[in-house]
Structure 1
């Protein structure tokens, strides 16, 4: 059996010769922009499989990256990384790793660290037609790769694109992790309960370890400790989609979830947020989980991002995949503004425009059929089971022409609603992305206003 030896993994920066070699190869591809004399980071990321963050480091040539990254970059343009293409960075960084001492590895170890990546995409969507979100992706990459956040929540109204954003991010930063596991917590139908917590943990542990075993005969606490140990030992990227499915206020009344299972899911979220580990867990949810809110902070390793709608150009690009639509600039602006840039709802609307209005935005607006039953069901799901104070707040904000301050909003409500109740209900609505807060002013998303007043 080969023995293990310590080796230093070299990191390097490109020499001017290596950088020029890449520039020349890129200029001969359709990624090259003749006006800017360069390729965009997003295009290079698609070509090479490297994150835009990593590509920025390579181009800056100040901080070292491992040689495998440089080789992968060169391979993306059918180039071979030669010794003259790279050099040690100032301050020469090294990482000690353990590798088997075999003849093959003796030749490889100085240039490339061993690869042992485990990837399980589960039911992740195909995001090859992803549009927009440049700013959000840059922010999230900063949080994951620079700030080393251990937990990030993407929350927002139904259909806004949380799942796609998380999946696209995972694709871009995948090379920076040893293990990637993507899982949805959404039941197969409204009449079904979420996956029992023990089964969920077994699935995660098996996939994060890269092993396949039957149900692990241990108690829940032992399984949680095993999961956290895995996240501490190696750098894993774990995406948990539709987390609202295991939050008590979001579970449909026709479904039942064992109280013990809910409490276990809740405790796991707390552990993922507060325990120190080197992995990154990304949650998507219609609700910002209350379990993690105490741990959110700029320097606390836990962040939360409210996902907003797409811009007009992004929606036009997205709908081009469905077909050609006729409309003026004003009509496109009206369409996207009316539906708050919601990708899912606009995709439903686009299908209606194609089938019944000859792909004409003009015909669609003339018939004033802006909220279909499908869209109404999606929004009803978001608004269901609101308390009486929450309903009063929603109604008050929907009937105003401008955002309201706390005191102005209170003046539009029943005197029976105390200040503490109002504050708590606003926090509840904001966590569900139903109420927007800007400069201490409260408002509803335009789509909700249109739906509630139509």
Structure 2
């Protein structure tokens, strides 16, 4: 979506909300944001204070958020406007006007020749669907905050859920990689495609009975709002999933599994979740469960076929452009060897925020950090790694220690030769470490990230 069209649509939204067209500073903030400039850089170009630019930006994001029905921020402006473009042109192509919030987009705006990549819709797309009544319980869903570009991952998950009708999806990744933020953004974008949208956080280790009771109570109350809870006849959970299109997110799903064991082994009181997940996968219904956590259940394979209704997305680091936004927000400039820092910390949003904060507070430059391959491990970074490392089994700890001694990626045969682990145990351990996203695998070679290698060495020395 080009700058001219973004300014045109933003001006329309702001005018309808405030009665005033975009002023020069507002336009400069939008232009700078789309060009990935910092507030400081925008202020310098416009010859005003950074605080003035931040204030104008905050006001713009609030107005756009209200009118577009999603949280818009500096980090996701481009993707939010592109989603608006898709809505305006794909969903309502050919209409004289379209209403978004309180803003009416006329035909001139809708059919502007400046917007690229437009294709006439098919008959199914052009027939507007009746508006659904959305029932939701998103009280446990965290606030999104700053969201850094995950366009490809969002498109993948959206396709799996809305087009391929996948019934069970796991979203995994190492701590700090942004799983929950991605899931929140996904729910905000697609929740209106469902009759029910529910977010559950499994940090209090709910039993299967409590969990299913929570869902069936929500579904039954929505179906019979005038009946008292004692008079409601509740169906089995799967019946509600068959009768309605439901989106259910289970965050921190790793809390269902044992510590000190290989990945995905259920705690004794939570083994019935296995039957629930199998039922969701195997039985025909129109709903989707999204499991978010450090590791998937054992029965969910890392590699899945397109012929099955089950998928796994293992989240990796941000691309360089998106990761730079984190460092800019922390006051690190392009001249501070940002790309090298991003590579060393693998584009992990939390890791980058943690080390950037430390650099900022110490007043040192990234160039000094990069001397002699130094890896800084701030305390908050070590805390989250402690929590994940403490879940590993003794065999996994042995293999991780072996990998810290290797300067190059190694194959299975060398690990078997260097360790005191049987071939069968080593295979299972490598699979578990891969599922926990603690090792990296390329072809038949295994390695550790520089951060994890330094963390394990530091932990071992204590």
**Closer, same or farther in 2 for the Cα pair 1:48/1:371, shift >3 Å?**
same
Look up the match of 1:186. Answer: 203
Q: Which runs of 5+ in 1 are unaligned?
A: 1-22, 34-38, 96-109, 188-193, 252-256
CA contact (8 A) 1:269 1:292 kept: no
Would you say 1:160 and 2:177 are equivalent positions?
yes
Shift of 1:210: 5.0
Would you say 1:78 and 2:103 are equivalent positions?
yes
Alignment of 1:54-133 (within 5 A): 56=86, 59=89, 74-75=99-100, 78-79=103-104, 92-93=123-124, 113-133=130-150
Comparing 376-385 and 298-307, the one that deviates more: 376-385
Which SS does the other structure have where 1:267 is aligned?
A: helix
Alignment of 1:26-425 (within 5 A): 28-30=8-10, 48=68, 56=86, 59=89, 74-75=99-100, 78-79=103-104, 92-93=123-124, 113-187=130-204, 194-211=205-222, 226-249=236-259, 259=268, 261-293=269-301, 296-321=304-329, 323-326=330-333, 328-329=335-336, 331-357=337-363, 360-362=365-367, 370-414=376-420, 417-425=421-429
**Closer, same or farther in 2 for the Cα pair 1:282/1:55, shift >3 Å?**
farther
1:298-324 CA deviation, whole Å, 9 max, x = no partner? 210100011111233323323544x42
Shift of 1:427: 1.2
Query: Matched residue pairs, number?
Result: 382
Measured in 2, the distance between the counterparts of 1:71 and 1:205 equals 43
Identify the structure with the greater helix proportion. Answer: 2
Would you say 1:432 and 2:432 are equivalent positions?
no
**Closer, same or farther in 2 for the Cα pair 1:403/1:226, shift >3 Å?**
same
Shift of 1:292: 2.8
Measured in 1, the distance between the counterparts of 2:160 and 2:94 equals 20
Measured in 1, the distance between the counterparts of 2:453 and 2:192 equals 42
Q: Supply the RMSD in Å over aligned alpha carbons.
A: 4.2
TM-score by length of 1: 0.71
1:273-297 CA deviation, whole Å, 9 max, x = no partner? 2222101111101012113339943
Q: Which runs of 5+ in 2 are unaligned?
A: 13-26, 28-33, 36-60, 71-79, 112-119
**Closer, same or farther in 2 for the Cα pair 1:54/1:282, shift >3 Å?**
farther
CA contact (8 A) 1:296 1:303 kept: yes
Alignment of 1:17-28 (within 5 A): 28=8
Measured in 1, the distance between the counterparts of 2:94 and 2:132 equals 12
